[in-house]
Structure 1
Amino acid sequence: MNHLPRNSFHTTPNALTVGALLCLSVFPSARLHAQTSTTHLNEVVVQSGRLEQKQFDAPASVYTIDANTLRNSGPQVNLSDVLNGAPGVVALNRNNYAQDVQISIRGFGARSAFGIRGIRLITDGIPGSMPDGQGQASTVSMTSADRVEVLTGPLAQLYGNASGGVIQTFTREAGDTPEAQMQMYTGAYGMSRTDWQISQRSGNVGMVADYSTFAIEGYRSNSDTRRQQLNSVITVDAKPDTRIKFIINVFDMPYAKDALGLTATQLAANPAQAVSSALEGRTRKTVKQEQTGVVVEHTVNSDLKLQGRVYGGNRSNLQYQAATTTNPTGAWTGLSRQFEGLGLQATGKVQVFDSQRMNWVVGTDIDHAQEQRQGGNAAGGEKTDTTRNELNEASNRDYYAQANWSLGERYTLTTGARQSNVTLKSRDDMPFTVADPDGSGSVKYKATSPILGLTWHAQDNLNVYINQGQGFETPTMSESAYTLTAPTTIKGQFNPNLLASRSKHLELGTKWMPSASTRIDASWFQIQTENEIVTARSSGGKTAYANASGTTRDGFEFALRQQHSSHWRSQASATFMNATYDNSFSNFVNGSTNNVLAGNTLPAIPKRQLFTSLQWSEKGFAAAGQKPSLGFEAGLDLIARSSMWANDTNSSTASDYALAPGFSQWNARLRQRHQIGVARVEAYVGVDNLTNKDTISSVIVNQSSKQYFEPGLPRSWVMGLISQIPL
């Protein structure tokens, strides 16, 4: 179509098939590797629901990203860069730092126009998601992270509201040797990244302090961004059986300009442009967040461990929006949030059922957030008046329990439940008038989320599991902020009539290690929801939501890791998913009533994804927990994604083209490590989109002006220098 970039998306029809064949060529037979492999894959302990367990034995789909993978991603700015290899995860980099990356897990969170919702974000045991399910991935400090865990499937429901999946990040801890680290990166489109990190241990106290900066001019007009971040973790081993962890995180983004999305016609004309309304309205966002937390762990005895956490912080957010037909001068929105919470947890193990083992956990989470929401009209990117002023609050009081029951040598029964109480309320602080009455309101949501699963340990190297569970997702405060008072009228009043979406999950999976150097994970899942929260009307930068439809999501996920030898390793992951509406409904978007048909595909969810990676190390890859080997390393990745819709109606007319075609993209990484005296120095070069294909990196779901598309970057480069010096 003439509405698409000329080179774009002209991927071969069988791009995913080609990638799969590459995967097969990269991963020869298990028998061959059993004969030739000299290095074993590392086994790690993960959060299997709320219980720690070896990843291979966990009765759930758990994907881990280690420190080396994080560092190999380059500047370590966008969490989406390392989530591409996680099965079931759609990680879209908007290349727009005013709106954060777009992440969904098995379809949950796909409708988000900004930030993260529908999935839970946790950092060092401290929630990064608010009680209403809203979170921000930009506050994760990747430069100091030691690993990332992604939990999908029914066991994720044990984390409560909006836990269609869980992403946990863990900051590295100080080693025995004091060390200073410096990273400096420069790249295409005016990108610069610096990081200074110190780790030191003195007696029973360890500290990691990390300060990083990031700046980019941007590929598109009006996309300049500046930000800096401090992340510090202090661990105190107060007694042999008691550990205290202090977490401090400060994120400051003085500005991130917003180029906004493009229509298909604008994208074809010039993908690097920003629409005129973005330039005229100086669309941008300013964010600052400060958060502190304390986690205390106490081991009573070998069969009982206690944990407590308390945290608090504040966040300010000021955003200037573009002019629209209903608001021809533009608008602004300001949020000033305070949040806090605590959690208590007991973990233990006992002998039951004729000396069979049972591991268990019980706990409670109590969280609260309140924010002063203000808004009004703007002209030329500056405030002109205030038309909205209200205090929004979200809180939860939850209780959970999980038990893994050992039933003989070959079976493990997993049971658990979470009882959740979520309250959303708003107090209107504006003067009331007949035309603008009191917009205050409140609503309470209650849900019990049970899970039940069985694992068959068929062999020492083969596990088969089946899980089922129930979950729920309340609207966020942003989704409750507007009420549809007439078929075409949106009022800035709290909407207490939205129901929580309910979901039923079923998962069948297997984990197989045909050799010590090969690991294969596969899972099939089906998710059915009712009262799905959908767009009812979108106009002038305002969106009102409603409960309109149920959905069905079913799919297959596959992951393979292979250590060919000490010098070669590779991995692949694939996701095949259908996500459709079960019932038809109507909404009012783009100035007209639209009929969403039963069977339509949910937007922002590609049906197929593939990731493959091949890596080589001159001196051999180091074992887990050890410093990477000196010498030369190289890596080549393939990312392939099928097309995805940008709106509920799946429209493909010339005037409303909403299909982002699929693509495949090659990325390359080169590293060279040297020892210079006491210093360890590393040079890094990375090139993304080697073949310079035109791509759409993300979509803005149901965008009211049909500006659905956010273009991906052309061929881009980054160079870095990393130095580690013992102190």
Structure 2
Amino acid sequence: MDKTRRHSSVGTFKLGQFRPTPATLKCGLCVHSHPQQDRALNTRLLPPQPAVLLAALLSTVPFPVSPAQGQTESRDTVTLPTVVVTVLRSPVRLDRMPFATSVLAGPEVREGNSGVFIEEALHGLPGVRVQNRYNPSQGERISIRGFGARSQFGVRGIKILVDGIPATLPDGQSTLDHLDIGSLGRVEALRGPAAAMYGNGAGGVLLFESAAPHTGTYRQDATVVAGSNGLLRLQATGSGTSGGVAFRASATQSRFDGFRDNATGSGEDPYSQATRTTLNAGLTTSAAGGTLALQLSGVDLDALNGGSLPAELFDEGSNEAWGFNVRRGTRKDARQGQVGVSWRGGVGALAGTFSAYGVGRELDNPIPNSVIDLTRRGGGVRVGLARGWDTEGGTARVDFGVEGELQSDDRRNFANDGGEAGALTRDQQEDVRTGALFAQLQLPLTGRLAVTGALRFDHFSFSADDRFEAPGNPDDSGSRTMTGLNPSLGVHFDLGGHGLFASVARSFETPTTTELANRPDRAGGFNPELEPQQGWTLEGGLRGEFGGRTSYDFAAYSTTLTNQLVPFEVPTDPGRRFYRNAGRSRVQGFELSARTSLSPTFTARLAYGYLDARFTEFTVGGNDYADNQVPGIAPHRVEAALRAGRGPWFGELRLEARGDVPANDANDASAEGYTLVELRAGGTGIRAGSLRLSPFAAITNLTDVRYASSVVVNAFGGRYFEPGPSRGGYVGLSLGWDRGH
């Protein structure tokens, strides 16, 4: 088998060997083609070199200086604030967390962004990777340590909550169509198995929180953003605090025409247009001696699906929509509404949390050979109690509780007749019922040593009522039951300004109803052979700060998986994803992040991740894929930013570099690595009478690189590549005015 990497203008990769072209210049972690030789700045990431990584980290550390210099430094020092996270369902200082955890907040998640793509808000979050497919009908592909990287649509393998309401359904599938990206105020990420506290999720947890309401009587904000490829976002937000009630409401409409040309001569052009309208509202108030919170959200999404391209078209520089998709009218029309309510307060000697949510979704989704008509209803309740007490080492805490969720899908599939529903091919009711018991203990053993242990039991019941019976198509009704007992144990040792942590945890991830229902033999019911993915993860790391100016975080991990869920396609149904279990696989790597205040004007941040995911036992049709890389995952990724700020003005230079991504189980095709550079600048809260003005602008893909923004794993016909946009940009303006303080 030819293992040569394709699509490289820098050099040729073979296993264990790299041959650079004459114009190649080596530079630390990367190999850059000379800009005079190649207009597109393509980057190849080499295996991690410890000396280079150490030098990169030490370059952010302030070394001892002379007394005179020290006096100047002391005036410029910006003390890093104490950060508290809630991703363990209870408040814990970030520097005391026994698990790999990271936070982005404030300007980093919102300032200068277009507010249309999630990847902007998550830039620089270590261990978290986003493949922006520039295809809202499929959604951006979010992964943590490789989990979720092969999702067909939406997000898999990660538990996601938005303002406290689960965006992950009981079967493990998440959709973020309703996320108000332009109003985000904070993102927390737990990197690694989250099953012990959150259940069905192997990769970790993402908590999205909207910006806090205005503390005065009322604030009104209006934002408009316009950019290349028909990008347009209009948003109005009102928030305030009055009579003990804090509230926030936002309405947003965004449009993105995209760049996927329609080469068929008929139909919409470009064939990548998308319009999304979201409504989000929330309020908090005091009630029954505690805090009551209510959250509402709704989304209306209409998006065309241009599909992926084979290598011959991608290599030619084509951005055209796949002709078969255009002729079949592939698209996604979705409507969703969600409501959640929670209460926190004292229950006798205990602290209590009670929450409930409900969701409804309507989906009309023509894919190449089918039209999917889905009506979904779901919801859940959670009751948690906690008690804290003082020990010689500090405050201990125990949390325990129960959860229950349900999901009901009314699914009908039709033959695709040019994007319209043809003959009925499937009609079934799919239900998921889950129940869980969980407990967590946080125990300081000494003033420096603390342990956190958790245990959770989950019971999943999947059932399908097959209502489509015809000659040769019998009743395939049936049910599946899956259970998981998932422990975790973490240890943290405080070194004074630095902290060591280590943990071991078990992960558990069920197939979704869509994955169970998609059977290559086209039968109804659920796939009886598809099993849950399970694994064990060991991790350890070090985090801390130097001189109040520089913080860093390092974590290394190793995960062993059994029954890994792997997607594939079949010739009779291209564009439709099916799933099978791999025997065993291994995921290991490390994450390094650092940020520093270089001066009162300049700050810098860096995030590097190395990930080696390989099958250890996996045979399909007589082909042995043992020791092959798990497709869809880039082994190397770097994200960096240099930010300048003075007064209300800011400027930022962003960089993202990614290594090669294997595209199939055989590893005989891959998407070339790339480097993207982005420049953004603007101002925040500039006073103009009673108004606050926040203008901003950005140039994206500054070096005009040709790259595959996403890979469709194991796609039939070699259609692995989803192209990213060429050089572009956007400009925006936010207007705000306040009433009361």
Q: Please confirm whether the aligned pair reaches a TM-score higher than 0.5, indicating the same fold.
A: yes
1:252 maps onto 2:300 in alignment: yes
- Structure 1 residues 536 and 75 mapped into 2: Cα distance closer, same or farther (>3 Å)? closer
| Contact in 2 for aligned 1:5/1:268 (Cα 8 Å) | no
Identity within the alignment, %: 26
Offset of residue 159 of structure 1: 0.8
Displacement after TM superposition at 1:154 (Å): 4.0
Quote the residue 1:192 is aligned against.
232
Question: CA 1:245/1:31 → structure 2, altered by over 3 Å: closer, same or farther?
Answer: farther
1:494 maps to which of 526, 536, 544: 526
Distance 1:479 1:507 in 2: 30
C-alpha contact 1:285 1:319 (8 A) present in aligned 2: yes
1:164 to 189, 203, 226: 203
Confirm or deny that 1:511 pairs with 2:522. no
Is this contact kept in 1: 2:654–2:679, CA < 8 A? yes
Matched letter for residue 466 of structure 1: A
CA separation of 1:121/1:331 partners in 2, compared to 1, >3 Å: closer, same or farther? same
- 1:445 maps to 482
CA 639–315 in structure 1, closer or farther in 2 if over 3 Å, else same? same
Match of 1:317 among 354, 358, 363: 363
1:673-688 equivalence runs, <5 A: 673=684, 674-688=686-700
* Corresponding position: 1:522 with 2:560: no
Q: For residues 546 and 483 of structure 1, what CA distance do their matches in structure 2 show?
A: 10
Question: SS where residue 686 of structure 1 aligns?
Answer: strand
Question: Cα gap change, 1:13/1:402 in structure 2, threshold over 3 Å: closer, same or farther?
Answer: same
1:637 to 642, 654, 658: 654
- Aligned-pair distance for 1:356? 5.4
Code of the aligned partner of 1:661? E
Residues 569, 715 of structure 2: 8 Å contact kept: no
**C-alpha distance after superposition, 1:363-390 (max 9, x if no partner):** 2211111111111112221112211111
Alignment-derived partner of residue 162 in structure 2: 123
Instruction: Report the CA distance between 1:684 and its aligned residue.
Output: 0.5
> Could you tell me which residue of structure 1 aligns to residue 12 of structure 2?
none
Alpha-carbon deviation of 1:602?
0.8
**1: CA distance, partners of 2:578 / 2:277:** 34
Q: Paired residue for 2:666? A: 649
Distance 1:14 1:362 in 2: 45
The 1:22–1:681 alpha-carbon spacing in structure 2 relative to 1, beyond 3 Å, is farther
Q: In structure 2, give the amino acid aligned to 1:184.
A: V
Name the CA shift for 1:538/1:231 in 2 (closer, same or farther; >3 Å).
Answer: same
- Within 5 A, what are the aligned runs for 1:21-100? 27=60, 29=62, 31=64, 35-36=73-74, 37-100=76-139
Tell me what 1:665 maps to: 676
Correspondence for 1:134 among 173, 176, 188: 173
Partner residue in 2 for 1:107: 146
Which residue, out of 707, 722, 728, partners 1:710? Answer: 722
The alpha-carbon deviation at position 209 of structure 1 amounts to 0.3
CA contact (8 A) 1:79 1:137 kept: no
Query: Which residue in the other structure is 2:272 paired with?
Result: 223
Taking a change above 3 Å as real, the CA distance of residues 536 and 662 of structure 1, as seen in their structure-2 partners, is closer
Question: What per-residue deviation string (whole Å, max 9, x for no partner) do you get for residues 508-548 of structure 1?
Answer: 01111122121111011000011212246634144443323
2:423 to 373, 377, 385: 385
- Residue number among 575, 579, 584 corresponding to 2:613 in the alignment: 579
Aligned residue runs from structure 1 range 237-636, under 5 A: 237-238=286-287, 241-253=289-301, 255-300=302-347, 304-322=350-368, 330-351=369-390, 357-433=395-471, 435-459=472-496, 461-484=497-520, 489-535=521-567, 538-539=570-571, 540=573, 541-586=575-620, 593=621, 595-619=623-647, 630=648, 632-636=649-653
2:529 is paired with a residue whose SS is coil
What's the CA shift for 1:719?
A: 0.3
Q: Distance in 2 between matches of 1:142 and 1:114?
A: 18
Deviation of 1:146 (Å): 1.7
Counterpart in the other structure of 1:326: none
Matched residue, 2:15: none
Instruction: Return the alpha-carbon distance in structure 1 between the equivalents of residues 452 and 716 of structure 2.
Output: 45
Distance 1:30 1:111 in 2: 43
Cα distance in 2 for partners of 1:181, 1:467 equals 44
The one-letter code of the counterpart of 2:546 is P
1:559, distance to aligned residue in structure 2 (A): 0.9
Partners of 2:131 and 2:196 lie apart in 1 by 23
Question: Which whole-Å CA distance do the structure 1 matches of 2:173 and 2:528 have between them?
Answer: 18
Give the residue type in structure 1 aligned to 2:331: R
- Identify the residue that residue 233 of structure 1 maps to in structure 2: 282
Alignment partner, residue 222 of structure 2: 182
One-letter amino acid of the counterpart of residue 706, structure 2: D
Distance change (3 Å), C-alpha of 1:128 and 1:182 = same
Q: String of CA shifts for 1:668-725, please: whole Å, max 9, x gaps.
A: 1100342101111011111111110111111111112321111111111010001111
In the alignment, residue 500 of structure 1 is paired with which amino acid?
P
Deviation at 1:24, TM superposition (A): 6.1
- TM-superposed deviation, 1:565: 2.9
Name the CA distance, whole Å, in 1 between partners of 2:39 and 2:397.
Answer: 53
Separation in 2 of the partners of 1:68 and 1:425?
45
Contact 2:568/2:713, CA 8 A, preserved across alignment: no
CA offsets 1:583-606 (integer angstroms, 9 cap, x no match): 1310xxxxxx57241011111111
TM-score (ref. length: structure 2): 0.89
SS in 2 for 1:279: helix
Q: Please, what TM-score do these two structures have when normalized by structure 1?
A: 0.90
**1:558 alignment partner, SS class:** strand
CA contact (8 A) 2:238 2:248 kept: yes
Q: Gaps spanning 5+ residues in structure 1: where?
A: 323-329, 587-592, 620-629, 652-657
Structure-1 separation of matches of 2:53 and 2:674: 14
Q: Name the amino acid aligned to 2:558.
A: Q
Which residue of the other structure, out of 42, 51, 54, is the alignment partner of 1:11?
42
SS at match of 2:716: coil
> Which one-letter code corresponds to 2:422 in the other structure?
T
Q: Determine if contact 2:192/2:202 at 8 Å carries over to the other structure.
A: no
- Partner amino acid, structure 2, of 1:245: A
1:600-652, Cα deviation, whole Å (9 max, x unpaired): 11111111111111101122xxxxxxxxxx2x21000110110011211112x
Asked if the contact 1:521–1:558 (Cα under 8 Å) also holds between the matched residues in 2, the reply is yes
Shift of residue 564 of structure 1? 2.4
Higher mean alpha-carbon deviation, 21-30 vs 439-448, is at 21-30
Q: Extract unaligned runs of 5+ from structure 2.
A: 10-37, 262-270
Q: Which whole-Å CA distance do the structure 2 matches of 1:2 and 1:111 have between them?
A: 20
Using a 3 Å threshold, how does the CA distance of structure 1 residues 695 and 594 change in structure 2: closer, same or farther? farther
TM-aligned CA distance change 1:475 to 1:12, over 3 Å: closer
Distance 2:118 2:257 in 1: 20
Aligned equivalents of 1:380, 1:703: Cα separation in 2: 22
Give the deviation of 1:360 after TM superposition: 1.7
1:698 alignment counterpart? 710
Shift of 1:426: 1.0
- In 2, the alpha carbon distance for the partners of 1:607 and 1:48 equals 27
What letter is aligned with 2:42?
T
Contact 1:235 1:246 in 2 (8 A): yes
Assess if the C-alpha contact under 8 Å between 1:16 and 1:610 holds in 2. no
Amino acid at match of 1:640: A
> SS of the counterpart of 2:687?
strand
**Residues 87 and 188, structure 2, Cα contact 8 Å, conserved in 1:** no
SS of aligned partner of 1:265: helix
CA distance in 1, matches of 2:189, 2:458: 22
- Cα-to-partner distance string for 1:544-579 (whole Å, 9 max, x where unaligned): 433232111110111111122332111111101100
The reply to whether residue 212 of structure 1 matches residue 252 of structure 2 is yes
Please say which of residues 208-217 and 103-112 is displaced more in the overlay. Answer: 103-112
